[in-house]
Chains A and B, each alone.
Chain A
Amino acid sequence: MTVRTAELLMAIMMGIFSIYLMYKSAELPIGWVEDEGPGGGAWPFWLSGIMLISCFGIIYNWYRKKGRIASSKKIYIQSHVLTEVGAVAASLIITVALFSFIGIYGALPLFLLFYLRVLGKHPWFFSITFAIVTPIIIFYFFEITLKIILPKGITEPLFIPLYKMFL
C-alpha cells in the first residue's frame, strides 16, 4: 500500500468515526435548551462536525494530489518495518491481554524476555536477570511506595504473604 492510498483510507476511517461521534453526541440535545443554554451534546456534536469537514478537506487535497503525503508513491509500511514494529506492537497487545490472566508479574517478565532475547538478541543470562529484577523494582516502587495495586490475575494468592509483610 502506498502512502497516498493510506492517506485516503485514514481520512475515510476518520470520517466514519466523526459521523459516529456526531451520532453519539446527538443522544443528548445538540441545540439550545430553554433556561439551560446549549444542550449537553452540542459541544461534541459540532466539533465532530468540524472533524468530518476536515476529513472532506483531506480527501479533497488527496484528490488534487496536493501536499507531500497526498502525492507520495512511497510504500506506507515497508515489509521490514512491518515485521519489527508489528512484532513490538503485537507483543504489547499480548502482554496487556495477559495482565488480566497471569497478572502484571507474570506478563512483564515474558515481555521483557521476548524483547531482550528475541528482538534485542542479548545474551540469555542478561535477559533473564533483567526480566526478573525489573518486576521486583516495579513491585517495590508501585505497590509498596506508591500503594498502587497492579493487576495480578491468578497470581493474586501468591502475593498475600507479601502484602502482609509490606502493606
Chain B
Amino acid sequence: MLEILGLLADGFTVVFELQNLLLIIGGCALGLFIGAMPGLGSVNGVAILLPLTFLVPPTGAIIFLAAIYYGAMYGGAISSIMLGIPGASTAVATTFDGRPLAKKGLADLALTGAAFASFIGGTIAVILFTFFAPPLAHVALVFGAPEEFALMMLAFATFVGLGNDDIFKTLFSICIGLVLSAVGFDIISGEPRLVLWDIVGFMHGVNFLVLAIGIYGIGEMLWTVEEHCLGGGKSMLSDATVTVKRTLNNIKLLAKTWKATITGSLLGYFVGILPAAGATPGSLMAYGIAKQMSKEPEKFGDGALEGVCAPEAANNAASTGSMLPMLTLGIPGSPTTAILLGGMVIWGLEPGPRLFVDHGDFVWGLIASLYAANVFALLINIAFIPVFIKILKTPFTILAPVIFVLCLIGGYAPTQDMHDVWLMLAFGIVGYLMRKLDYPLAPAVLAIVLGPLAEPALRQSLIISDGSFSIFFDRTYSGPIIVVAIVLLFLPLFKIGYNKYRSLKA
C-alpha cells in the first residue's frame, strides 16, 4: 500500500514536468473538442493524432494520447446535450436525458452535471486502477506463452460472446485483422509471407496505424459525410445560459445524484475492463441501472439529472478501466487502448506485466497523469462551456477536409511509403462499405495490434508441448482462462438454444 503511494508520488513528479503538464492540458482540450464534434470520438482522435506524437518521448506521447482519450469522454456529452447528437458513441446514453434538459432551458445544468459526474467517475476509476493494477501485474509476471495466448483468445472471445454483433461477421473481422498482421515476413523462418499480389510494399507488413486511420479516420469521415447529407442538423443547437450563480446552484442540485454517479462509476470501471465491452455498453448499462434505482423512474427520458450523471460517470470510468488490462496484461480493453498499445510497440515498449518492472516510470507517470487529466478536463470543461458551444457551430465542411488531410499525412508519416497511403485509403473505403452492412470493425483493429504478439505465443506454446493443444488446458492460469474463452465463444449458441427452448415451452 505504502509502496504503491510512493510509486504514485514518483509518477506525479513525471507529470509535473512542464512539458508533460502542457501535454496533458493540450490533450484534454483537444480531446474535449474531438469528443464534442459529432462523428469523432476518442478512438478517431487517438488514431489520427498518434503519428504526431513521434515528436515527444514515449511517456509524454502516451500521456498526451491518454488525455485525449479522457477529454473525449467529457466532450462527448457536449454535443449530446446541445445538439441531441452523440458526440461519440460513448455518449449515446447522455442524449436520453441531456437533450430534454437542454430543451427545458437547463442545458447548463446538464453540462455541469456531465462534467462533474465524469470527474467523479474518472477519479473513482483511477483510484481503483492504482490499487488493482500492481497486484494484477505481479500475478501476471509468472505468465508464459500459453497464458499470453489464452488471454488473447479471451479478448477475442468476449467480442464474439458479448459483442452483440453478428457472430460470423465478428469472427471474420477478428481473423482478417490477425491475417493482415501476418503479412510481411515469417518471424521464425524469416521468409517473406503473404506478399499480396506480389506488391513489394507488402514486404514491410501492414502497419496497424494504416488500418486504424483507414477505418477510424477515412471510413468514419465518409460515414459522417453520409449522415450529414442525410440532414445532420446545425440549427438544432440549444442555447445555454452560464453564470456563476447558476453554476453554484447546479452544483447543489448535483449533490442529490451521488448514488447514480457512484453506481455508474463502479459499473463503468468493471465493464471497461472487458475487451469487447468498453465505454458505450458501460454507459448504457449505467443508465438502465440508474433508472431502476431511482425513486422517480418515470422522469427518465424527460430530463432526469441522474440520467445524465450515471452514463457520464460510467464512460469515464470505463475508459480508465480499459487501460487496466492494457498495462498489466498487454491486452487492450477497448479499440482506443488497442491503438495506444500499438503505439507503445512503436515507441519500443513491450506491453505486458514486465512493463511495471522494466518501465515503472512510464507506467506510474501515465497513472498519475490520469489523476491530473481528470482535474484539467473538469476545469477546462466548466470554464470553456460557451467556447465549446461556439465550436460546435463550425461547419462540418471545414472540419472534414482538415481531418482528411491529417489522415493522409498520418498514413504516410510512420513508414514514409506511398503504398501505405493507398492501402489506408482502400481500408477506409472498404471499411465504410462493410460498416454499412453491420460488420464490426473494432475487432479487426484489436486483432492487427495483438496479431504479432499472439502468433509467437501460440507457436512457442506448441513447440513446448510438441504440438499438443492440451498445454493450454493443463497449466494453472491458462486452463481457466481458455475455458472461459471457449464458454464465451459458444455463448451465442447457448443463447439461441435457450431462446428456442423457452419459445417451445411457451
A residues whose Cβ falls under 8 Å from a Cβ of B: 3, 6-7, 10, 14, 21, 24-25, 27-28, 32, 36-38, 40-41, 43-44, 47-48, 50-51, 53-55, 57-58, 61, 67-69, 76-77, 80-81, 84-85, 88-89, 92-93, 95-96, 99-100, 104, 108, 111-112, 115-116, 119-122, 130, 134, 138, 141-142, 145-146, 148-151
Q: A40-B189, A58-B168, A138-B405 are in contact. Are A115 and B397 (CB under 8 A)?
A: yes
**Which residues of B (330-383) have their CB < 8 Å from a CB of A?**
none
* Residues on the A chain within 8 Å of B436, using CB: 3, 6, 76-77
B179→A51 contact, CB < 8 A: yes
- In the bound assembly, the distance between CA atoms of A81 and B166 in angstroms comes to 25
**Which residues of B (405-424) have their CB < 8 Å from a CB of A?**
405, 408-409, 412-413, 416, 418, 421-422
- In the bound assembly, the distance between CA atoms of A143 and B194 in angstroms comes to 33
Q: A14-B172, A80-B229, A96-B421 are in contact. Are A111 and B222 (CB under 8 A)?
A: no
B189→A119 contact, CB < 8 A: no
* Residues on the B chain within 8 Å of A88, using CB: 221-222, 225, 400, 404
* Residues on the B chain within 8 Å of A81, using CB: 226, 229-230
Closest to A48 in B: B179
* Residues on the A chain within 8 Å of B397, using CB: 115-116, 119-122
* Residues on the A chain within 8 Å of B189, using CB: 28, 36, 40
The 10 closest A-B pairs by CB, nearest first: A120-B397, A40-B186, A57-B168, A115-B401, A54-B172, A37-B463, A44-B182, A54-B168, A84-B229, A47-B175
Q: Which listed residue (A28, A54, A89) contacts B193, Cβ 8 A?
A: A28
A146→B398 contact, CB < 8 A: no
A150→B409 contact, CB < 8 A: yes
Q: A47-B179, A96-B425, A115-B401 are in contact. Are A21 and B188 (CB under 8 A)?
A: no
Tell me whether B1 is interfacial, beta carbon within 8 Å.
Answer: no
Measured CB to CB, the closest approach of chain B to A148, in angstroms, equals 5
Measured CB to CB, the closest approach of chain A to B307, in angstroms, equals 27
Q: A54-B169, A134-B402 are in contact. Are A44 and B226 (CB under 8 A)?
A: no
B467→A92 contact, CB < 8 A: no
Tell me whether B136 is interfacial, beta carbon within 8 Å.
Answer: no
B418→A151 contact, CB < 8 A: yes
Q: A61-B168, A85-B225, A95-B408 are in contact. Are A6 and B437 (CB under 8 A)?
A: yes
- In the bound assembly, the distance between CA atoms of A69 and B409 in angstroms comes to 35
- Total of A-B residue pairs, C-beta within 8 Å: 170
Query: Could you list some 6 contacts between A and B, CB below 8 A?
Result: A25-B194, A85-B229, A89-B222, A92-B408, A138-B405, A151-B418
Q: Which listed residue (A7, A51, A145) contacts B172, Cβ 8 A?
A: A51
Closest to A4 in B: B437
* Residues on the A chain within 8 Å of B193, using CB: 25, 27-28, 40-41, 44
Q: Which listed residue (B429, B433, B458, B467) contacts A10, Cβ 8 A?
A: B433
Q: A58-B166, A111-B404 are in contact. Are A40 and B222 (CB under 8 A)?
A: no
Measured CB to CB, the closest approach of chain B to A99, in angstroms, equals 6
* Residues on the A chain within 8 Å of B169, using CB: 54, 58
- In the bound assembly, the distance between CA atoms of A108 and B176 in angstroms comes to 32
Q: Which listed residue (B171, B182, B404) contacts A54, Cβ 8 A?
A: B171
- In the bound assembly, the distance between CA atoms of A74 and B188 in angstroms comes to 49
* Residues on the A chain within 8 Å of B166, using CB: 58, 61, 67, 69
Tell me whether B240 is interfacial, beta carbon within 8 Å.
Answer: no
B416→A148 contact, CB < 8 A: yes
- In the bound assembly, the distance between CA atoms of A134 and B403 in angstroms comes to 12
A37→B405 contact, CB < 8 A: no
* Residues on the A chain within 8 Å of B412, using CB: 150-151
* Residues on the B chain within 8 Å of A37, using CB: 188, 459, 462-463, 467
A92→B404 contact, CB < 8 A: yes
- In the bound assembly, the distance between CA atoms of A78 and B466 in angstroms comes to 55
* Residues on the A chain within 8 Å of B191, using CB: 28, 40
A48→B175 contact, CB < 8 A: yes
A104→B409 contact, CB < 8 A: yes
Tell me whether B218 is interfacial, beta carbon within 8 Å.
Answer: yes
B226→A85 contact, CB < 8 A: yes
- In the bound assembly, the distance between CA atoms of A47 and B182 in angstroms comes to 10
Q: A27-B193, A145-B55, A146-B413 are in contact. Are A54 and B408 (CB under 8 A)?
A: no
B194→A21 contact, CB < 8 A: yes
- In the bound assembly, the distance between CA atoms of A6 and B193 in angstroms comes to 31
* Residues on the B chain within 8 Å of A10, using CB: 433-434, 437, 439
Q: Which listed residue (B222, B395, B408, B463) contacts A85, Cβ 8 A?
A: B222
Measured CB to CB, the closest approach of chain A to B172, in angstroms, equals 4
- In the bound assembly, the distance between CA atoms of A117 and B44 in angstroms comes to 26
B398→A148 contact, CB < 8 A: no
Q: Which listed residue (A28, A68, A120, A146) contacts B55, Cβ 8 A?
A: A146
Tell me whether B438 is interfacial, beta carbon within 8 Å.
Answer: yes
* Residues on the A chain within 8 Å of B175, using CB: 47-48, 50-51, 54
**Which residues of B (74-124) have their CB < 8 Å from a CB of A?**
none
